[in-house]
Structures are given as structure tokens and as C-alpha cells.
Amino acid sequence: MSSITFQKVTKQYSKAGESKTVIDAVDLLIDDGEFTVFVGPSGCGKSTMLRMVAGLESITDGELLFDGERVNMLSPSERGIGMVFQSYALYPHMSVRDNIGFPLRMAGKLSKAEMKNAIDDVADMLEIEHLLEHKPGQLSGGQRQRVAIGRALVRKPRVFLLDEPLSNLDTALRVRMRLQLAEYHKKLGCTIIYVTHDQTEAMTLADKVVVLNGGHIEQVGSPRELYESPATRFVAEFIGSPKMNLLNAKVMSLSPSVAMLSVLGVPLSIETDTRGLVPGQTLSLGLRPEDLALGPAGGIAGQVMEREYMGPESLLYLSVREDSEPLLVRCPGSTEVGKDERVHVQINPERCYLFDDQGRAIPRSVMPSKRAVNSQAFAE
């Protein structure tokens, strides 16, 4: 087990004299035994970060420390890591037993019998004892997944790295494996870095989520912090499903702790830190679909363009103005609204997010975190 520290870690690829910065001076601390998830859109540098930890990618600049010790120059096998790849990368010509035993064979420290014990222990924990003599080609996706995990765990790594390990599985299996991963983590207590572009995985698994975007960190925090107080508009949009609605809000007037806004012509007063705001400025107002409710009259008016019925709840797509994106509203499944019906949406001023034109969150004097997290927000 160990902690991992990134100090101004930078990664550049140079091709034909031009260098491209992929990771830009990232600082990050991952605590011992923590389950950390790197999440972000495709190409943001998640894999690169992970591979730098693994030692598969050299670090252009900055320091990478394991337990305060610089590891930049250590080879992957010297760092004491285990890694699971997206494609599992099992050795196709070796049996499951030989696959799991390969790291032990390479280390060459154990006797034959000790190796067998170690393999059997891992296989036992992952419930793949009966598959030990099979070749990877004869296994299902989930079984291959577990073999890959077994191969990474068998050396008892200090750090356990997984790069999108579930993305090749079907939905049901993904949910099951997710639970199992959480269980393994509890059992082993090792430091885990897990890369995904799926925010549901990030929210359900992580102790700490690191949201990456374009080579830098947008926000680091617990799933709940990210959901309830996103530091940037990017994080707010990225976390939460369905996606947060963003509307333009014009600042009408300001008092020290209250801002009067006009949203789609509807006045709205919000308690917030108004320093740095000026009247006439346009802000982004973030509204989560689950924080909106249909009301009798007043509020924002819109016409139902589409209704997605999902049993316990329904998603409504409202057209609020010709040129803007539809407004998403999540309402109970029993709500009686039909297509093309005109409805009114109530905004709860306590459950609003404000972002300036740089996408930074404007601090609220009353944090929305008072309220329980809607657990359904993370359902598959």
C-alpha cells in the first residue's frame, strides 16, 4: 500500500520537432488505500496519467512519488504495481494458471509450490479455480476480466491500476463487476487508480474522483462534493445523469447576498456571493433535471417535445424557446402530461448553480449540499 504524489507532472509528445502537451503540470495527492477514479472525456489524458504511474510512459517534467519516494526512473516492475488493461491483455497462448503465474515467474523469487499456492489463493478469491487450465480464448468477457485482475493482484502490488476495465462488458455484467471491484478493494485495502469515462462508475466506486479535461485537473473530490458543488461548469455538466440544464441568466440587480436574475424572462432571486458580479452580466444558470418540478403556473413555461417514460420516473424534454436547447425535467413516472402539452416549471432557488463566463462556479452563501443526494441520479 502506498500514497502517490504528482508534483507538477507534465507529459509532452514530440513528433517531427513539434511537441504537444498532453498532461500539463498536474498536482495531485492520492492517499494510501484510497480508491481513486480518473474520469473525463475521451482524449483528456486519463490513460496517460495512469501509464505514467505504471512507468509505461516516461514523465517529461515534474516528480512522481510513491510514499514520498521519487519513482520517475524506476521501471514498471520495480514500482510494485499491478495493472489491468482495457483489452485485458491476457497472453493468448498461456493457460489461465500460467497467465496469473507469469508475474511470479518473472520475479523468480518463489518456489514452485509457493507459486502454486499464490495462484490458487488469487483464483479462490476471484472464483476462477475451475478455469485455471483453460486458455483465455475459451473464457467469457467477465471471466477474462477476473483473470486479468488476478494476474495484477498475484504479486500483491502496492498500487493497483485499472484502465477502463469494464468498458468491454455488457451492462449487467458491468454492474456486477463494479460491485465486486468495490468488494475486492474493501478486502485488500490497496491503493487503486481506476480510469473510466463513465461517470456512473466513477461515482459508485470512488473514494476520490479526479475529473480531467484537456490535460489538466478540473476538480478533485468525493463523488458527493462533485455532484453537489461542482467547481466548474465542465464538472457540473460532466457529473450527473441526465445532464444538467444550462440556461443563460442575466444579472438584473445585486444586493450583497442576493442576485436578481432574469432567466428566459422569468425573474429569479438567488442567494449568492455577489462580489465580482455586475448588473447586466450574463451568467450560466445550472439546473439539474431532478431539481426541477412541474407546477401549476408561473415559473418557466414550455411545451413538451418528448416524453421518455421509464417506469418510476419520466424525463420531459421541454422546448422553452425556439433557439435554445430543450430543458430536461425529471418527474415521477405517474405524472400525467402528454406530448405538446404546455407546462410550467418551478425553479427552486436553493438548488441552482451559477457559473461565470469562464465556467467557474460562483460560490453560494447557501450551499445546495444541505439537501439529500438523489440516489437515483446514478442509476444506470
Ligand X SMILES: Nc1ncnc2c1ncn2[C@@H]1O[C@H](COP(=O)(O)OP(=O)(O)OP(=O)(O)O)[C@@H](O)[C@H]1O
- List of residues contacting ligand X (CB under 6 A): 13, 20, 22, 40, 42-48, 197
For residue 34, the minimal CB distance to ligand X (Å) is 20
Among 1, 25, 74, 277, interactor with other proteins by CB under 8 A: 74
- Position among 87, 138, 222, 324 found at the interface with other proteins (CB under 8 A): 87
Count of residues interacting with Mg ion (CB under 5 A): 1
The least distance separating other proteins from the CB of residue 322, rounded to whole angstroms, comes to 46
DSSP string across 233-269? HHHHHHSSSSPPEEEEEEEEEE-SSEEEEEETTEEEE
Q: CA 203, CA 209: separation in Å to the nearest integer?
A: 8
Residue 48 engages Mg ion in binding (rule: CB under 5 A) = no
Which one of ligand X, Mg ion, other proteins, none interacts with residue 197, CB within 5 to 8 A by kind?
A: ligand X
Task: Answer with the entry of Mg ion, other proteins, ligand X, none that 74 interacts with (C-beta below 5 to 8 A by kind).
Answer: other proteins
Least spacing, CB of residue 157 vs other proteins, in Å: 9
Reduced to 3 states (helix: H, G, I; strand: E, B; else coil), residue 297 is coil
CB atoms within 10 A of CB 334: 8
* The binder of Mg ion chosen from 47, 99, 143, 272 (CB under 5 A): 47
**Amino acid, res. 169:** L
In this structure, the dihedral spanned by the alpha carbons of residues 80, 84, 87 and 91, taken in order and rounded to 10 degrees, is 60
- Binds 42: which of other proteins, ligand X, Mg ion, none (CB < 5-8 Å by kind): ligand X
Instruction: State in angstroms the smallest separation of the CB of 72 from other proteins.
Output: 7
Q: Closest distance between ligand X and the C-beta of residue 359, in Å?
A: 20
Under the criterion CB under 8 A, does residue 75 sit at the interface with other proteins?
Answer: yes
Residue 233 touches which of Mg ion, other proteins, ligand X, none (CB < 5 to 8 A by kind)? none
| Residue 13, contacted partner among ligand X, other proteins, Mg ion, none, CB below 5-8 A by kind | ligand X
DSSP string computed for 109-139: -S-HHHHHHHHHHHHHHHT-GGGTTS-GGGS
Contact between 56 and other proteins per CB under 8 A? yes
The CA-atom distances, in angstroms, between 275 and each of 80, 119, 229, 258, 271 are: 49, 61, 19, 10, 12
Of 8, 19, 43, 106, which one interacts with other proteins (CB under 8 A)? 106
- Using CB under 8 A, which of the segments 25-33, 81-89, 280-288, 343-351 binds other proteins? 81-89
CA 273 to CA 255: how far, in whole Å? 9
User: What is the signed CA dihedral for 58, 35, 209, 169, rounded to 10 degrees?
Assistant: 90
222 is a site residue for other proteins (CB under 8 A): no
Query: How much of the chain is helix, strand and coil, in % rounded to 5?
Result: 30, 35, 35
Asked if 19 interacts with other proteins (CB under 8 A), we say no
Contacts (CB under 5 A) with Mg ion, residues 261-290: none
* Residues 114-153, interacting with other proteins (CB under 8 A): 151-152
Cβ-based neighbour number of residue 17 at 10 Å: 5
Nearest residue (CB) to ligand X, 45 versus 101: 45
56 interface partner picked from other proteins, Mg ion, ligand X, none, CB below 5 to 8 A per type = other proteins
Kindly tell me which of 86 and 204 has the beta carbon lying closer to other proteins.
86
The phi and psi torsions of 187 (rounded to 5 degrees) equal: -65, -45
Extract the runs of DSSP E, i.e. beta strands, from the chain: 4-15, 18-30, 35-39, 61-66, 69-70, 81-84, 159-163, 191-196, 208-213, 216-221, 245-254, 258-263, 266-271, 282-287, 293-295, 300-309, 313-319, 327-332, 342-346, 353-355
Cell reading at 361: 462556479
In the complex, which residues of this chain contact Mg ion (CB under 5 A)? Answer: 47
In the complex, which residues of this chain contact other proteins (CB under 8 A)? Answer: 54-60, 72-77, 81-83, 85-87, 89-93, 102-103, 106-107, 151-152, 155
